[in-house]
Amino acid sequence: MSRNDALRAARLRAGWRTIEAAANAITEHGQQLLDDRQFAVSARTWRRWEGDRPGWPAEETAIVIHDALGRWPEDLGFSTPPGWIRPEHHEEADVRRRAFVGVTAAALVAGPVAPQHVDPALIGYFQQQLEGHYRADMFLGPHDLIGTVSAQYQLIDKLVRSARDETRRGLLRVGAAYAALVGWLYQDAGDMDGASFWRGVTQEIAMRSRDPHLIGYSLVNQAQVRTDLGDGHAVVDLCEAALDDADRLVPKVRIMAMQQQAHGASLTDDRRSVDQLLDQAGRLLPQVDDDLPWGNACRRTPGYLEVQRATCYGRLGLGVEAGALWSQVLTIVPETARRDRGVYMARQATAAAAAREPDQAVEIARTVATIAVETRSARMARELTTLERAMRPWQDAPVGRDLAEILELVTEGS
């Protein structure tokens, strides 16, 4: 029996008549088993598994396959890698526990610390470092920065315990910004549990600082996680809470809340609100003049609001409108911003598919695949999965097979 026949037979025994049904069923099973809403197996991946070169699934995926079908991957025609040892469920739980400990270690240092003098100049030092981390994130992606930034947050937290008065409040403010960045890095890496944890840390530190701008910023950060989870109503709730006392907020925070609320509106199919919110944010842009070291994407990102509008239009299925905006945005985004360009181009490709331009979508995807392998951005990988769904009408055509080959590079490189 050939490899693809073994898995195909197991699929049919499970009652999964088509590859699409199998991918959907294994995704749902994995999300429940692992308690991870981000777990997903695409139809493209399952189709490869039933082909001549099925490769080998990730360890968590192997566990899900075994739990769903009652057989380990090596019994289903997969190519067993050297050193593979079948994991047991308690071992998998230990892996997840260790991963969570790694996420939280920098934020939850127990016990008292030795008192020390804390010079106020350290506030400026950490602020300068923060700006460098923002720039590095654009070039490197999340994986190379998580350890560095979370370690610096740990140092800030230690200093806060000894600092007094204005120095302490200043360190709390910069600490909230560091926690927000760590949360973003986990989110970009696809670890939504880690992202949610650090967004919670951000909100706690912001509340302790008593800084209304940071409190609003922390709510927007929470809304970003909810956007990635597809919970539009929660996004709107959080952004409305941030804007409850808008007159107290600097324009930058109001812009952030409005644009994120627009994302929530796009998730609930409310185009009118999308345009209204982004138009309001656009009128505030010329008023951004604060010297706060965090949340400066509206100043740092070329075509910031056009990026948000194009993304929202893409979610709303407005392929032509979104495609025109992405073409405009990509003329001003620098080549050095590899991760951002890759995400934007993946969304541009999806817009092209929605506009019934599959050849253009595949041509764009060739470049995106290379960037996705380089940066290991989970956000980009998710955008390519969205593109794959948009290209399903052409999956059996030559252009669809070309896309499958391109996306195979991303799967092998991840």
Span 275-310, pLDDT tens digits: 999 999 999 999 999 888 888 888 888 899 999 999
Q: Which residue has the higher pLDDT, 114 or 222?
A: 222
Cα 187 to Cα 25, 34, 221, distances in angstroms? 25, 18, 10
3-state SS, residue 283: helix
**Phi/psi at 84 (5° precision):** -65, 130
Most confident residue range from 24-38, 85-99, 172-186: 172-186
Would you place residue 168 in the very low, low, confident or very high pLDDT band (cuts 50, 70, 90)? very high
d(CA 192, CA 231): 13
DSSP helix/strand/coil, 38: coil
- At 354, the amino acid letter reads A
d(CA 384, CA 243): 33
pLDDT band at 412 (very low <50, low <70, confident <90, very high): low
Q: Is the pLDDT of residue 248 over 80?
A: yes
Reported for 273-279, long-range contacts at CB under 8 A and 24+ positions apart, including other chains, are 274/309, 274/312, 274/313, 274/316, 275/309, 278/305, 278/308, 278/309, 278/312
Residues composing the chain = 414
Cα 21-25-26 angle, rounded to 5 deg:
120
Q: What angle do CA 297, 300, 305 make, to 5 degrees?
A: 60
Confidence at 82, pLDDT banded by 50, 70, 90? low
Question: Which pair of structure tokens corresponds to residue 214?
Answer: 């940071």
pLDDT of residue 218: 95
pLDDT of residue 228: 87
For all residues of the chain together, what is the average pLDDT? 86
Residue 386, pLDDT > 80, answer yes
| Predicted pLDDT of residue 4 | 58
The crossing angle, in degrees rounded to 10, of helices 192-209 and 212-228 is 170
Would you say residue 92 has pLDDT above 70?
no
The CA angle 232-389-359, to the nearest 5 degrees, is: 125
Q: What is residue 239's predicted lDDT score, i.e. its pLDDT?
A: 97
Token couple for 140: 């490197």
> Backbone dihedral region of 31: left (phi > 0), alpha (psi from -120 to 50 degrees) or beta?
alpha
Residue 95 binned pLDDT confidence (cut-offs 50, 70, 90): very low
Look up residue 271 and give its DSSP letter. Answer: H
Is the pLDDT assigned to residue 396 strictly greater than 80? yes
- Specify the pLDDT at position 194: 86
Highest mean pLDDT among 28-32, 52-56, 256-260, 383-387: 256-260
Q: What is the pLDDT of residue 93?
A: 43
Q: How far apart are CA 400 and CA 141, in angstroms?
A: 29
Under a CB-based contact definition with an 8 Å cutoff, are residues 295 and 250 in contact? no
Q: What is the pLDDT of residues 102-141, one digit of tens each?
A: 556 666 666 667 788 999 999 999 999 988 888 888 777 6
**pLDDT number for residue 62:** 85
Which of 5-14, 253-262, 293-302 has maximum average pLDDT?
Answer: 253-262
Closest CA to 128 of 364, 294, 368, 14: 294
